[in-house]
Amino acid sequence: MKNLENTLVISLVNDVSFHQEKRLAIATELVANPSVLFLDDPLKSLDSLNAVQITTCLQVIMFYQLIFWEYCI
């Protein structure tokens, strides 16, 4: 998705694959830095490669959030 990093979200409607759309939906929510993130079956209908990529990214984000909060306390 590096090639789409400076593209407006509205203009992506017809330009992204289903897998990119899933990742974009999660990323859009993460931009707000929520304290809790509810994901309703984020891996549904994804192939194994894309499911692993999303899971790995969420694990990395969770890990760094835990380190940040431990540092602040």
In this prediction the pTM is: 0.62
Sequence-separated (6 or more) residues with CB below 8 Å from residue 18: 45
Per-residue pLDDT reduced to its tens digit, 21-68: 888 888 888 888 787 888 888 888 888 998 998 899 888 888 887 776
- For residues 6 and 32, which has the higher predicted lDDT (pLDDT)? 32
HEC letters along 9-33: CHHHCCCCCHHHHHHHHHHHHHCCC
